[in-house]
Each structure stands twice: as C-alpha cells, then as structure tokens.
Chains A and B, each alone.
Chain A
C-alpha cells in the first residue's frame, strides 16, 4: 500500500519452461500486505503457472522469489504454507462427504494430548472463521455436497486462513458462480484485504477483477504486458490482454 515499503512477496524475472513451451519469461510481480493484485490474461498466458509457483507447487527454472525482501525457495506447497502463503485452486480440493469443519481442518486437524481429534475446538474455530468472513452457511456440520458453489468457495477460502497466512492466492474463484454467489465471494475478498492480507486474484472476468483489485497485472504469452490501477478502463486492460497495446516501455 505504502510506496517504497518492502513488498510482502516479490517475483523477479521468473521463467518457467515446459519442454519447448515458454510458460513464463522474465515475469515480475509484487504484492504488498493489504492489497489485492489481480492477474489477468488470455488462456495460456501463464496465470495459473505463476500462481502455482507462488503456491510452491511448481518451481521456477530461473528467477528470484522474495518474501519480505528475503530470497526464499518454495520447494513444496507445505513449504509455501509455512512461509504464510495459502492457495485455493480452481478445483477447490474439498471432500464432498465430509462436513464443513472437517474440510476446513483437512490435513491440519487439531488434536489433544492423546492424539484424539478435538472436534469441539475445531467447530468453534470454524464457526468464528465463517462469521469473520461473513459467510452464510447454516451449519458447520453440513456435508459439503449440500452446499452451493459460492458456499464451497467460501469454505475453501476459510480453510486457507487456518495457519494465519499473510498471502492468499485465489485461482478463478468466481468461475461458474451465480451473481449472488459471486457477490458473496467478492465480499470475502474485500474482507481478506481489510484483514491486512495480500491477495493474488486470478480471473477472466474483468468486471469482478476491477471491482475488488487495487492493481491489475496483465500477462500475455508468459510475459508482463502492463500494470494498471483499478480505475483503469476496461478498454485499456482488454487492449493489453489481447495485445492491441504493448506495455509502455
């Protein structure tokens, strides 16, 4: 937010190749705390690859990753998690047959000294987490299969907050949602920002992106193709996405 302050996350000259495919070529990206940065671009522009690098799922072939100014290597998703980076991917990776609490705490369950699951504590934590995000889910004991798309997205977002992360990566959170559900998810993103987190938002929907982001970074053919403030017009951003306009260098 404040210019000149060390960014929460900085990617410098990141490149990633899949054989002959140039997925990312010398990409730069900075995210500060209390900031929503949107990553937009055409299919195959490298948005998801970049997100996976930030999440620790993929490792860059070259380039530097810095967290609060210190260079780091994110060798796995759990390594990224330990550094305070949490991600929600398009498939959400939730379990249909488990209830909301079990999904939120999946793989990070709270146990008591005897190693037995601490259900009560987890339920209370889930309830307060959902309330904090102003999520409208009637019961934390509802199995996931009974929830709407927007509610599932909310559960996935709530799950990322368990380890008190500093940065949340959301990949296409509003894809295939109704307007009311989109409204809910966008409100959650605003809440994350107000909680002081950095957010990387990946989306195709310029309307949604421009509604909640502070900054919009355009990727095209795996390269940076412009950076816009949220009040930039839709036409300017579209021009950068389609290549009608090159970055002003």
Chain B
C-alpha cells in the first residue's frame, strides 16, 4: 500500500498522499480513534486532526464519540449515510462475514475457519455473534443494519428458506436457516445458494457486469453454477437451477450425497480430488493443493487440470443450453489461474456452436475469492428498500 503513494513532491501532492493514507487506515481497521490514526499512519497528531476535519467536511468520514481505555475519544469511521448491510457466507470449512455500505464498499470483514461437517446451530450462532462483533468494530449498533444476506453451499428455496435438497449439506436439512438468524439478530435475513450469490456479484459489480447473459461457475469443495439470464439471476424450482455438481458425468460412478449416481461432485469434489494425492503428498487441504499447484507441483497441477477438463465439459453443455455471453469462473480452484481455467476454456472452445459469432469468453472471477461474500451483500441490498430507509438514515444522521 505504502509503496503506491508518492514519497515526495509538491505540498498538495503530499497532502493528497497523507489523506489517502488516513482513508486507507480507516478502511483497513473499520474504525480508529484519532490517536490510533496517528500511530497507524505515522503522521503527526496535528496533521491527522486537520485531515480528519477535511474528510469530515467532504462527507467521506464520520466521527462519533467512543471510549478507549477509559478515556473519551473520537472514533473515525467511513461515512455510511443510509445504513449498512451484512453479508455472511458459510462454506464447508470457512465462514466469511462482511459489513458493507449501500455502495458495496466493505467496511469490515472477517474469516472464521470451520470444522468439517460443522453443526448448523453452532455455525449460525457464531455468524450472529460475528456480525455483532464486526458492527461493534465500525462503531454502529444493530439498528443501523438494514439486512443480512446469507449464502450456504446448498440449493435453498427462497420462499421457505429451507435447504431444498436433503442430504447435500449434512445437519442442515429442515432448518429454516433465514428464520434462525433473523430471530437472533432481529433484522431481515435473505438466504441463497453460494454459487448463485457469486453469479449475482459478478453480474452486478464483477466481470460480467456489462453482459446480459452470463454463467458463473464456482469450483470449490463442490462445483456449483449460477445462471444469469437477461440480467436476472435464474433460480429455478427450489433454487436448484445451476447445480452442475449434480449433473451426471459417470454413469457407472459412485453414489453422491444427493442419492444419484456419478454426479460431477463425486469426480471433482474435494474428497475425490484429494484422494489420489494421499499416497504421494499425504494429508492435504484444498488450499494446500491450490498453493502447491501455483508453486508448480506437477501432481497437484495434474489433478487441478483434470478437474478443469471435467468441469469444462459440463460447463460447455450448460452453455449450449443457455447461450451465455461470458463464463466467469470462481472458487478456490480458479485461484490456480490458467491451470484450471485453461482446460475449462479448451473444453468450451471445442463446442462449435458456442463459438459461432465470437469465441465464448472464459474469465476468472473479478472479485476472486470474495465473489460469494459480495453476492451476499448485493442480495441484502437488492432485497431491502434502501430509499425507504434513506429518510430514516438522514434523520438519524442529523440528530
């Protein structure tokens, strides 16, 4: 960060750099007191005070009284006039929580590692506590939270908030996920499938924002996809649209957790990906495989590339059905770059129909690993009537 800023130059460019430094520090920490800002930026207290005053005048930050180690202090946070939303994405081994304002700017973010087969009640409980903790970090109360967007790695029926397919997410069947969290936080909760959220984010603020029809593929512990048609997310009955992890690729294959035989997830899901590496590489996690593939480990590259080819075949079929302008690939496996994306693109290129006018684009997710989290934020924002709350917010601000 620091290297990007000009080191020397005219007075005004120096002031500009110092301002950027202060805004940067506030962004990174959520909220800081002026004294803490002095330490974080290395600027003098007088300079920090002047800059905060300027930023306050420009409406970029807000200052509110706070108490730090028993003393009164001025907590500086980024301005969020209309309120905030929270995005929560529960994965197989991680939970990510973000607090963002109405312009999709994330003001606080935290990742929590989760155990394998984590329990629904424990995880939702921790999600609620994390949201409250993060709000506390940026110095606002729960009442300023407009809504919460929640993503889980299973198809969700939007109306009932239940996991639509039994057995896909162990321990989460029959739990009204949204209601449970709503009860804890007393704020509206909107829930969707993680791949759908990724598609929502990439089509709203990411790589497919200029395209009407796009396909988002999420290759993580399992594979999922989100289908955007005419700029709108197509969820299908019970939110099951785009569940390519359960497309049959091996008619004689293993039985999947969903109950069918030879699903894509039984071939490229994490247990299936890690198993062949166990003899040669020992106990690996998905992140290890990604890191090793990026370092050039031949075994891991082979595994990831083969998975790319298999996923690519299914993606090509899906693309033939829906005719997207662009395919966006996200999830951990996409972090290996061309190792995974190359074979996916290759499989798509082989289908003549997809490349009639122009070759179908296969690009990495612009939001990277944060696509789903941003999707949860977008979902919360889209589901809330921001304007209705806008009056509310300004009143609160003027009080």
Contact = CB atoms under 8 A, between A and B. Distances in A.
A210 B116 contact: yes
Nearest to A213: B115
Given A146-B68, A179-B133, A207-B122, A139 B287 contact: no
B129 A190 contact: no
B4 to A, nearest CB: 15
Interface residues of B, number: 38
B113 A194 contact: no
Interface string A164-181: 000000000000001111
Given A179-B130, A210-B115, A138 B39 contact: yes
B39 A142 contact: yes
Interface stretch (A20-28, A58-66, A80-88, A226-234): A226-234
Contact of B117 (A2, A138, A212, A233): A233
Contacts of A211: 93, 112-115, 118
B40 A139 contact: yes
Interface in B273-292: 279-285, 287-288, 291
A182 interface: yes
Interface stretch (B24-32, B152-160, B228-236): B24-32
Contacts of B116: 210, 230-231
Contact of A178 (B118, B133, B284): B133
Contacts of B134: 180
B129 A138 contact: no
Nearest to B113: A211
A217 interface: no
**Interface size band for A:** 35 or more
Interface in B110-128: 110-118, 122, 126
B281 to A, nearest CB: 6
B68 A138 contact: no
B38 interface: yes
A42 interface: no
A191 B108 CA distance: 20
Contacts of A206: 115
Nearest to A123: B42
B265 to A, nearest CB: 16
B130 A1 contact: no
Nearest to A145: B69
Nearest to B37: A138
B44 to A, nearest CB: 13
* Complex A-B, nearest 5 residue pairs according to Cβ-Cβ distance, in ascending order: A139-B39, A210-B115, A180-B133, A183-B112, A211-B113
13 contacts: A1-B281, A3-B279, A138-B37, A139-B40, A141-B39, A180-B137, A183-B113, A183-B130, A189-B113, A194-B291, A211-B93, A212-B113, A231-B117
Given A3-B279, A138-B39, 18 more contacts: A1-B288, A2-B280, A2-B281, A34-B288, A136-B29, A138-B32, A180-B137, A183-B110, A183-B111, A183-B113, A187-B112, A190-B113, A194-B287, A210-B115, A210-B116, A229-B283, A230-B115, A230-B116
